[in-house]
Structure 1
Amino acid sequence: MNAQTQALKQRAKIQTASVSSLWRVALVQAFVKLDPRVLLRSPVMLVVELTAVLTTVLCFVPNPAVDTAVAVQLALWLWFTVLFANFAEALAEGRGKARADSLRAGSQGLSAHRRKAGGEFETVAASTLRKGDVVRVQAGELIPGDGEVIEGVAAVNEAAITGESAPVIRESGGDRSAVTGNTRLVSDWLLVKISVNPGESTLDRMIALVEGAKRQKTPNEVALDILLIGLSLIFLLVVVSLQPFAIFAGGKLPLVFLVALLVTLIPTTIGGLLSAIGIAGMDRLVHLNVIAKSGRAVEAAGDVHVLLLDKTGTITFGNRRCSAVYAAPGVSSKELAEAALLASLADDTPEGKSIVEYLRGLYPMVEPARTEIEAIPFSAETRLSGVDWNGHVYRKGAVDAALAFIGLERGEVPATLSREIDKIAKSGGTPLLVTADGKLRGVIHLKDVVKPGIRERFAELRQLGIRTVMVTGDNPLTAAAIAAEAGVDDVIAEATPVKKLQRIRQEQADGKMVAMCGDGANDAPALAQADVGMAMNDGTQAAREAANLVDLDSDPTKLLDVVQVGKELLVTRGALTTFSMANDVAKYFAILPALFASLYPQLGVLNVMQLASPQSAILSAIVFNALIIVALIPLALRGVKVKAASASSLLARNLLIYGLGGIVAPFVGIKLIDLLLTALGLV
């Protein structure tokens, strides 16, 4: 227990050191980002910096209407506002870069055993590998790059990329043939054909994504920037027009007050946190083990109306699996299990392996060694497979082929077994008859197994207003059975790539945002056409290249989490924009009556806050403006949580919490700051 406690303490120290380092780097970057060329990405904060510079200059210009101490405080708080907005962005970037550094560290100095033209292998640096190169990876070695397994079966630990500690099986010729660079082989060996060039691997994309090097602003961010710039220009005109009004009334407003007033009125809150919100959203996506090739896909995920999912490998496991066995009349369950297991013992197909796995759990038996049996492989001519062992003949196969093998007609099959065969076929499954020494033993039910938990996730999508459509090449009967089990809203049976494209285009023509999940080469056109295309990492290379999202865990229900992140991004920006604009209502009541009370005594009735003086009003508003950004940094990084609800309910909640809160908070905050400044004698 003592050793465990020490380990926990050591881990806590490491985490504390990491967080401390992250904050130090972010603090330094906050000053680096004061470069106007950097702040051009955030026009609102560029305005704040320019006003901070101007206010700093005005501190050295004597003005009897403004105490120098107040002018200095205004300048300091304006600089504080810019620095903390930069700090929020740097902190969001730092979290991603820390993850990128850990990913990059694992790939440095990696070597590979590349096959030469003569068939021999040479050791080269992994960075020199090119698309099409073939490499050999042994147990304990790291896979040097993304590729497809062309020979071998092995367990792979993908924790370095996906975070999943349990090894997964990768083998040639199946649905699990894709491997990811920087993952470790824990058993056997693999021959891998590299599928990408340097700089294009999954690891490279993750590093580029979390570092933000290739991240461009999404249309939503661009639109919000335009809104913020428009509001800033409007308030600039308002502030500029105040001086003529003051002169007309026989007075004059100090320039430093007008500059400070501009900062309090423009939407500095959302302007200062906008970049941090976007970066933090992409960071949350990376932590879900989803690679986004564009921010547009994440934004679009928040507005998805229809989700198309390929059945094979996405909704189902992709390989038919044994789900039940039914014995013929007069045959015991144990006799059927023994015959079926022996008939499948030499069958290396996924179906054969699933039969062995299923029956071993039900009826353990002493199995013969592979060297003791004569394997009869499946062939298209016989449509049977099995083994000959100890003078016994065990076979399994298609109904008609198995009956012909033992010399039975279809009408001679016992009625109870015949009904089970028909029931399996009508449910979309595949019946395989089992025979032993020329006698019928029973039937095996093979079915395309729906992935666990997928029905519940589809129900959650339905609550978010997203309609699910299963796409499959199966006949309508089989498709309907699987669709009912999975809980999808609609199904497209006997689907071709053209049919998928037509459905997506039809939905888009109706104004719907469409998402598509797939893993096969035949899904590539639909993935490219969809607004949000998410490919499974263990799918084909064509699917991964066509999609704009790649799920490293190959879990189609992950799209629910992606939708959640997309909605959080949209709602967080909307919430903070509402809060920022609502702030202006309170600031008007705080500052304008105080500034014009001496010129227009009638405005005194609007001075509901009863602030001490014009100088106190301006300084209190500037201090509140800076501190509110600090207070909202955690919300910007975490995001506003979204629950399943209608758009009207979300809007009402947004207005109640952030609209009303944006009005009330400044009234309370500015008044408290005014009392504190007055009590401390700072104004």
Structure 2
Amino acid sequence: MTTLTETSASAKPPEHGHHRPAPKGAISIAQLVAALPGAFRKLDPRQMWRNPVMFIVEIGAALTTALAIAEPFLGGPRASGGAAVPASFTVGIAVWLWLTVVFANLAESVAEGRGKAQADSLRQTRTSTTAHRVEGYDPAADAAAERATVTELSSADLTLGDVVVVVAGELVPGDGDIVSGIASIDESAITGESAPVIRESGGDRSAVTGGTRVLSDRIVVRITSKPGETFVDRMIALVEGASRQKTPNELALNILLASLSIIFVIVTLTINPIAGYSAAAVSLPVLVALLVCLIPTTIGALLSAIGIAGMDRLVQRNVLAMSGRAVEAAGDVTILLLDKTGTITYGNRQAREFTPLVGVTVADLMRAAALSSLSDPTPEGKSIVDLAAESGFRHEGALAGDIVPFTAQTRMSGVDLPDGSQIRKGAGSAVIAWVETSAPAARTVLAELGEQVERISGVGGTPLVVASGDADGTRRILGLIYLKDIVKEGIAQRFSELRAMGIRTIMVTGDNPLTAKTIAAEAGVDDFLAEATPEDKLALIRREQEGGNLVAMTGDGTNDAPALAQADVGVAMNTGTSAAKEAGNMVDLDSDPTKLIDVVRIGKQLLITRGALTTFSIANDVAKYFAIIPAMFSGVFPGLAVLNVMQLNSPASAIMSAIIFNAIIIVALIPLAIRGVKYRPAAASSILGRNLLIYGLGGVIAPFIGIKLIDLLVSLIPGF
């Protein structure tokens, strides 16, 4: 047993490299080769049945293989539809059917492999470390913790609710919230960023992640996750695709593809009974080839890869989606809720001017404002103290009195001084309400205050109202502080692009309506919610959802958790509290609120890619019919020769060429499925028209060209 102050540092952990995946681009041959073992492992029927389309192809490949083995003992391959076929025909069909299944698995394996490097790096952070659990920790008095004892144990033995102490040089043993202290922490193992970050208790930056390293000071952490269920564990499972659940749209498309496949199986099985009356019976290899060309194998092979790649594109931007459903929902979002500070504006508002009301001196207002901000850690609070110092204000020693922190509910902060007097600063309505708890404010004071608020708000500034209260309970408004806020460059253009996508943007701020209106107009947002409380935000989300909209928002605090949970897409900041990260369905490891816009773009790209490749697959099948149907029956029904528009060499080469093309096109489309169709902000009708033109028309033309070129090569083989 040791005391908290005697805890020794753990052994220095291994250095972690930057784990972000390589920038997106074309799939290399090396990536395809590396993914091949995984593709062969997926041939297990217990895995294949989850993809009904490719499972049917695998069954067809197995039947054709068995027939190819048996044919030498049965007198060789039989004629099909009256046309002779070469001895190698059935073997060739079997080989290319197996390659079709392998190529389909290869697409999924490549998509999963792109997250494997990141998962391997993250596993290094899961090595068991020494934890120092505090016995009998009293959260009400950290001073008691200094005399408490700690027990050394493995981090794997920690349970939910345990309290541990971590000092400089040690790894954080598990996910948790800081309940005491402040420290500089290296989170490069998680975020990939080498710059340390500050984490402290009592705010929205109190969450720490297991496997990160404390660089300075000492913190006391309450564990908020069970072993095996940490943030890193979930990241590993998700980036590898092990816990990826199919989205509703993906499930619906899978059901549709399975239904079409079953219909085509029935159609294929009825061909011989019907054709038998005309002595045009079709051999089993040709029937299987026909079936594989009829069913939507292209999209069936790539569907899973498209979903995994969508999540991977988020990981490339350091956003972790807790489910594929969240990525898909991002593509359907119609409302974006964006905080003003840090998202639309830079968030480092600076004090520029003290404006006293009539009867109050600048010195009195400046002193009150500075005293209320001495213990304010925000950039705004520090700028108020700096502005007062420039004007000659000095305060020696620590501030005596009780600090009143800012909260989203009160929307003001301040200090209660030892002499019984009080100082408050914050939103105008909140401060006025505080003053009027003692006596109604004079009408002339409110009128003058309103004029000044309107003046500051009219130029896009944020007015902070300052008030004081005497020991006898009398309270009065002293004046205002002008905080200058700057809208980020290029943000208006991004909102214009969102509007082109059909997405409405709503700015959420605690500022008064006039300031909010000015900033909203400058930034180009569609609407705003001023003087917003957490309850207001939650009510707004519910109201929009009741109107049929899908809502996305960001948040980092415990008070954002209800709204994050209610939103269809809730992006929690990694710097935020554990409650916020648990409530959201995405976590931004860089804690950049503007990334919500990128999340929506990636979601839309996922939906467009899936739609484009589905269109291509269906159009692709149409062309294959013209290759394989005439070849099957041209010997018995010469009139069908008119459908042989590609002028293929022979029925056997036509069927073989169609099967080969069907396999090769899957490999050719893997880069597009992984990279995604290029997305340009536009109306849905415009995007649909463009995709029909490119992927619909392209899906019809490509097989005609591809099958004809393959036929020219196949015809060089003796017997074809």
Same fold (TM over 0.5): yes
In structure 2, distance between residues paired with 1:279 and 1:639: 11
Amino acid at match of 1:79: W
Question: How far 1:254 sits from its partner (Å)?
Answer: 2.0
CA contact (8 A) 1:154 1:188 kept: yes
Question: How far 1:496 sits from its partner (Å)?
Answer: 5.0
Q: Which residue of structure 2 aligns with residue 594 of structure 1? A: 631
In structure 2, distance between residues paired with 1:501 and 1:386: 32
Over 3 Å counting, the alpha-carbon distance change for 1:455 and 1:109 in structure 2 is farther
CA contact (8 A) 2:369 2:466 kept: no
Over 3 Å counting, the alpha-carbon distance change for 1:653 and 1:226 in structure 2 is same
Q: Which runs of 5+ in 1 are unaligned?
A: 1-11, 13-17, 329-334, 388-394, 402-409, 435-440
User: Residues 631-671 of structure 1, C-alpha deviation per residue, up to 9 Å, x if partnerless?
Assistant: 11111111112110111111111111111111001100000
Q: Which residue of structure 2 aligns with residue 458 of structure 1? A: 495
User: Residues 350-408 of structure 1, C-alpha deviation per residue, up to 9 Å, x if partnerless?
Assistant: 24x6565688799999999x9x646455767xx98799xxxxxxx9986999xxxxxxx
Name the stretch that deviates more: 302-311 or 595-604: 302-311
Question: How far 1:562 sits from its partner (Å)?
Answer: 1.6
CA contact (8 A) 2:368 2:423 kept: no
Asked whether 1:142 is paired with 2:171, we answer: yes
Amino acid at match of 2:611: G
Q: Which residue of structure 2 aligns with residue 469 of structure 1? A: 506
Question: How far 1:554 sits from its partner (Å)?
Answer: 2.3
Amino acid at match of 1:168: V
Over 3 Å counting, the alpha-carbon distance change for 1:682 and 1:546 in structure 2 is farther
Asked whether 1:308 is paired with 2:337, we answer: yes
Over 3 Å counting, the alpha-carbon distance change for 1:145 and 1:21 in structure 2 is farther
Given candidates 32, 40, 47, the residue that maps to 2:41 is: 32
SS state of the match for residue 320, structure 2? strand
Name the stretch that deviates more: 647-656 or 136-145: 136-145
Name the stretch that deviates more: 555-564 or 181-190: 181-190
CA contact (8 A) 2:133 2:163 kept: yes
Over 3 Å counting, the alpha-carbon distance change for 1:342 and 1:234 in structure 2 is closer
In structure 1, distance between residues paired with 2:199 and 2:509: 24
Asked whether 1:430 is paired with 2:464, we answer: yes
Over 3 Å counting, the alpha-carbon distance change for 1:54 and 1:357 in structure 2 is same
Name the stretch that deviates more: 357-366 or 449-458: 357-366
In structure 2, distance between residues paired with 1:630 and 1:73: 18
Q: Which residue of structure 1 aligns with residue 104 of structure 2? A: 85
Name the stretch that deviates more: 445-454 or 114-123: 445-454
Question: How far 1:25 sits from its partner (Å)?
Answer: 5.0
Over 3 Å counting, the alpha-carbon distance change for 1:504 and 1:373 in structure 2 is closer
Q: Which residue of structure 1 aligns with residue 193 of structure 2? A: 164
- Return the structure number with greater helix share: 1
- TM-score between the two structures when normalised by the length of structure 1: 0.82
Asked whether 1:242 is paired with 2:294, we answer: no
Over 3 Å counting, the alpha-carbon distance change for 1:375 and 1:255 in structure 2 is closer
Asked whether 1:349 is paired with 2:368, we answer: no
CA contact (8 A) 1:433 1:444 kept: no
Question: How far 1:547 sits from its partner (Å)?
Answer: 2.1
Aligned pairs for 1:386-397 (under 5 A) are: none
Question: How far 1:617 sits from its partner (Å)?
Answer: 0.4
In structure 2, distance between residues paired with 1:263 and 1:385: 76
In structure 2, distance between residues paired with 1:317 and 1:176: 18
Over 3 Å counting, the alpha-carbon distance change for 1:316 and 1:169 in structure 2 is farther
Q: Which residue of structure 1 aligns with residue 317 of structure 2? A: 288
User: Residues 154-201 of structure 1, C-alpha deviation per residue, up to 9 Å, x if partnerless?
Assistant: 222222212222222222223322222222223333222222222332
Asked whether 1:46 is paired with 2:55, we answer: yes
In structure 1, distance between residues paired with 2:31 and 2:400: 63
In structure 2, distance between residues paired with 1:252 and 1:538: 69
User: Residues 309-346 of structure 1, C-alpha deviation per residue, up to 9 Å, x if partnerless?
Assistant: 4557766788x843413699xxxxxx99xx98995799
Question: How far 1:220 sits from its partner (Å)?
Answer: 0.8
Given candidates 102, 105, 113, the residue that maps to 2:124 is: 105
Over 3 Å counting, the alpha-carbon distance change for 1:374 and 1:638 in structure 2 is closer
Q: Which residue of structure 2 aligns with residue 553 of structure 1? A: 590
Asked whether 1:187 is paired with 2:210, we answer: no
In structure 2, distance between residues paired with 1:45 and 1:342: 70
Given candidates 704, 707, 719, the residue that maps to 1:667 is: 704
Given candidates 555, 568, 573, the residue that maps to 1:518 is: 555
In structure 2, distance between residues paired with 1:327 and 1:525: 38
Amino acid at match of 1:423: R
Given candidates 153, 160, 176, the residue that maps to 2:205 is: 176
Question: How far 1:268 sits from its partner (Å)?
Answer: 0.8
User: Residues 45-86 of structure 1, C-alpha deviation per residue, up to 9 Å, x if partnerless?
Assistant: 111111111111221322342322121111111111111111
Asked whether 1:63 is paired with 2:64, we answer: no
Over 3 Å counting, the alpha-carbon distance change for 1:22 and 1:679 in structure 2 is closer
Given candidates 637, 645, 649, the residue that maps to 2:674 is: 637
SS state of the match for residue 169, structure 1? strand
Over 3 Å counting, the alpha-carbon distance change for 1:140 and 1:660 in structure 2 is same
CA contact (8 A) 2:454 2:514 kept: no
- TM-score between the two structures when normalised by the length of structure 2: 0.78
In structure 2, distance between residues paired with 1:85 and 1:364: 69
Aligned pairs for 1:473-488 (under 5 A) are: 475-484=512-521, 486-488=523-525
CA contact (8 A) 2:462 2:483 kept: no
Q: Which residue of structure 2 aligns with residue 277 of structure 1? A: 306
Counting aligned pairs with the same residue, the percent is 57
Over 3 Å counting, the alpha-carbon distance change for 1:451 and 1:104 in structure 2 is farther
Q: Which residue of structure 2 aligns with residue 677 of structure 1? A: 714
CA contact (8 A) 1:341 1:356 kept: no
SS state of the match for residue 59, structure 1? helix
Question: How far 1:630 sits from its partner (Å)?
Answer: 0.9
Q: Which residue of structure 2 aligns with residue 322 of structure 1? A: 350
Aligned pairs for 1:123-138 (under 5 A) are: 123-138=152-167
CA contact (8 A) 2:572 2:588 kept: yes
In structure 2, distance between residues paired with 1:19 and 1:590: 32
Give aligned pairs, total.
640
In structure 1, distance between residues paired with 2:566 and 2:386: 45
Name the stretch that deviates more: 649-658 or 353-362: 353-362
CA contact (8 A) 2:327 2:602 kept: yes
CA contact (8 A) 1:85 1:272 kept: yes
Q: Which residue of structure 1 aligns with residue 95 of structure 2? A: 76
SS state of the match for residue 681, structure 1? coil
CA contact (8 A) 2:373 2:414 kept: no
Q: Which residue of structure 2 aligns with residue 612 of structure 1? A: 649
CA contact (8 A) 2:512 2:531 kept: yes
Question: How far 1:472 sits from its partner (Å)?
Answer: 4.6
Q: Which residue of structure 2 aligns with residue 406 of structure 1? A: none
Asked whether 1:217 is paired with 2:246, we answer: yes
Aligned pairs for 1:368-387 (under 5 A) are: 373=397, 375-376=399-400
Q: Which residue of structure 2 aligns with residue 120 of structure 1? A: 149
Amino acid at match of 1:639: G
SS state of the match for residue 465, structure 1? coil
Amino acid at match of 1:99: Q
CA contact (8 A) 1:536 1:544 kept: yes
Given candidates 482, 485, 490, the residue that maps to 1:445 is: 482
In structure 2, distance between residues paired with 1:412 and 1:255: 95
Q: Which residue of structure 1 aligns with residue 695 of structure 2? A: 658
CA RMSD of aligned residues (A): 4.2
Over 3 Å counting, the alpha-carbon distance change for 1:21 and 1:594 in structure 2 is closer
In structure 1, distance between residues paired with 2:207 and 2:62: 56
Q: Which residue of structure 2 aligns with residue 8 of structure 1? A: none
SS state of the match for residue 113, structure 1? strand
Amino acid at match of 1:322: Q
In structure 2, distance between residues paired with 1:187 and 1:106: 19
